[in-house]
Amino acid sequence: MTDNEMLQAIKQLLDPIRKNQEEMKLQIEGLQLQVNTLNHEVKRGFWKTDQDIETLVEVLEAKGILPKAQ
């Protein structure tokens, strides 16, 4: 077997591995996007919850149900 034939055989063996790596890379990028989106949604949810709690406390204080914080 010549050197070129040996290199060609090695290349053929590595091609499926390269394709698999590319597929995994795309899947990882997709997962990273999902994690970033989820992280953003969680932060937005906490912000909204904080706003709702502040509003509720203000209403309860205004109605005299909850003593005003000092």
Give pLDDT tens digits for 12-59. 999 999 999 999 999 999 999 999 999 999 999 999 999 999 999 999
The answer, yes or no, to whether residue 61 has pLDDT greater than 80, is yes
Output the six-digit token pair for 14: 């590595």
Residue 21: which H helix or E strand, with range? helix 3-62
Structure tokens at 39: 């992280």
Rounded to two decimals, the pTM is 0.66
Q: What does the alpha-carbon distance between residue 37 and residue 68 come to, in Å, rounded to a whole number?
A: 38
